[in-house]
Every structure is written in C-alpha cells, then in structure tokens.
Amino acid sequence: MTHLEQDRRRRWRSAVITAIAIGVACTPNPVAQADAAQVITELSDAIGELQQNTAMLQEQVDSLRLVVARQDTMIARLSAVTGVPAMPR
C-alpha cells in the first residue's frame, strides 16, 4: 500500500467518523419531540374551538339581523297604517 493510498484511507476514515459524530449530535430529543407534538395538538384543539365559537357567534349575529329587519318592517307597516311618521335613521 502506497503512502498516497494510506493518506486517502485516513482522510476517508476521518470523514466517516466526522459524519457519524455529526449525525449522532443532531439526533432529535424524543422528549422534546413529544412536547412539541403535545403543544401542536393543544393549539389545534384551541383553533378548532375558536372556529366553533366564531361560527356560533356568526349564527347569533345573523339571527339578530333577521329580528331587526322584521322589527323595521313592522315599524314601517305600523307607521304607514297609522299615518304616524317613522323616526328618521
């Protein structure tokens, strides 16, 4: 084996050892991963709850708009029948 081949093998081994060391150092912590997954799940649940609350509030607003529209119509009709002018908006 020539000196050049030995030098290449040493460099190759060094590169492999460095790659393995980096790989081992970069392995994720399972506890941190579990904590992150838990946080993501909780955030997802909270977002879902907010969406449900928003939908419920939107239904209530739509319902109140309908009630106000009916009352406006009733006031306009009563005003027309009685001859009393409706209050200006």
Q: What digits encode the pLDDT tens for the residues 63-82? A: 999 999 999 999 999 998 99
Contacts (Cβ under 8 Å, ≥6 apart) of 48: none
Is the per-residue pLDDT at 88 higher than 70? no
Containing 9, the helix (H) or strand (E) segment is: helix 3-25
pTM, whole model, 2 decimals? 0.54
Break the chain into its structural domains and give their ranges: 3-82
R_g of the chain computed on alpha carbons: 37
d(CA 31, CA 52): 32
What are the tens digits of pLDDT across the range 5-51? 777 778 888 887 887 777 666 677 788 889 889 999 999 999 999 99
Contacts (Cβ under 8 Å, ≥6 apart) of 75: 86
Per-residue model confidence (pLDDT) at position 55: 95
